[in-house]
Structure 1
């Protein structure tokens, strides 16, 4: 009986919504894998992404970073290519990089391009689009300021986008982060989602929130934990 009580105390109650502070503690307590698990958030929005005026997409800089090394590829040339390299981009190229990607090269997590390269980048739509990697000016990955874009990507900027069911999934840190580091990241993302509320969204916008780690269970979060939710 004592053993069962200990297990319940560790796993927590998954049937109720917890204040975000408690949910973070529960996720960390249940991240028991032998590696540093990622902490992920799922937000169920009251939108129907099939309608253009209800799509939610954007970028947010997580104050505590992501805890992972983001490999950044930049499609640019001449001075902009040099700027990207100086800012810490992992792969930089123009026509040559586009050809490598068309040939199956995918060793990157973010793709940034300068506006003058978009005619070339357009060839990669079928390759990068399904993976959510296609450069887009709306999220700052098509920009003449490639140096800052690279620094943002390396420093904790993440993209978010509604899936077909109206859910946003995103990584917001690592289980090794402190409670406060995870809390400020969660709040930053929820705040960004509220600011990105589309004009076509009616009724309750943020319907459900849950937090989990890579191998651990998910815990519901009280939407009232966020003043603007």
Structure 2
């Protein structure tokens, strides 16, 4: 059960933030302290599965063919890239960058991992979007479903970074649970845990912000 104080903070935030003519996201601003992010080993780069999802459909790109490709389409993948599509991306970097920006996550059959790393790694890598391989025995449908509830938490070399945890039309209780999940993962990742966190604020896209930690 989410901490009551976080639920109340989220409720206050939603009440005080004016309704917009579009669906705002609810985000966390995480501020770190006493850690050297110039050292890559100290940086946060985690995929977190939110217990209540993001309240919207994410775009998942899958590098696959044959039965796996068909299953990916049936499971709701936004794009399925076969050999011809991969060759097109290799030859057209502008197209590859557009796809990299449009898709939230990528999954790939293991046979494609090497060529993707070699030809598209410079595009996908810096965006934190290198594909997850489909290992033997894994269901591509289950993987896509899991990705639909996931967010990438990345600090890079910045002491302050942001991550979306839902939409403002989601119940405050569910948003609070998502917040707890992200904070707990960040604490486990940091060298000194919660002692490396200066503060955490929750905010809507164009609204005010509230301190939760």
Which TM-score band (shorter chain)? Answer: 0.7 to 0.9
How far the C-alpha of 1:202 sits from its partner, in A, is 7.8
Looking at structure 1, the residues matched to 18 and 124 of structure 2 have their Cα atoms a distance apart, in angstroms, of 32
Gaps in structure 1 of 5+ consecutive residues? 1-18, 136-140, 224-229
Deviation readout 1:31-69 (Å, 9 max, x if unpaired):
421122100001123333321331222122111110122
How does the TM-score come out when normalised to structure 1?
0.76
Is 2:46 the counterpart of 1:32? no
How far the C-alpha of 1:165 sits from its partner, in A, is 1.3
Match of 1:112 in 2: 107
How does the TM-score come out when normalised to structure 2?
0.81
Q: 1:114 to 1:197 in 2, by over 3 A?
A: farther
Match of 1:151 in 2: 145
Q: In the comparison of the two structures, how many residue pairs are matched?
A: 196
Match of 1:133 in 2: 129
Match of 1:121 in 2: 116
Is 2:62 the counterpart of 1:74? yes
Match of 2:206 in 1: 215
Deviation readout 1:58-95 (Å, 9 max, x if unpaired):
12211111012211110123333233223221211232
Bigger Cα Rg: 1
Match of 2:171 in 1: 178
Gaps in structure 2 of 5+ consecutive residues? none
* Structure 1 residue ranges (4+ consecutive) displaced by more than 3 angstroms after TM superposition: 99-102
Looking at structure 2, the residues matched to 100 and 23 of structure 1 have their Cα atoms a distance apart, in angstroms, of 48
Q: 1:202 to 1:158 in 2, by over 3 A?
A: closer
Contact 1:73 1:108 in 2 (8 A): yes
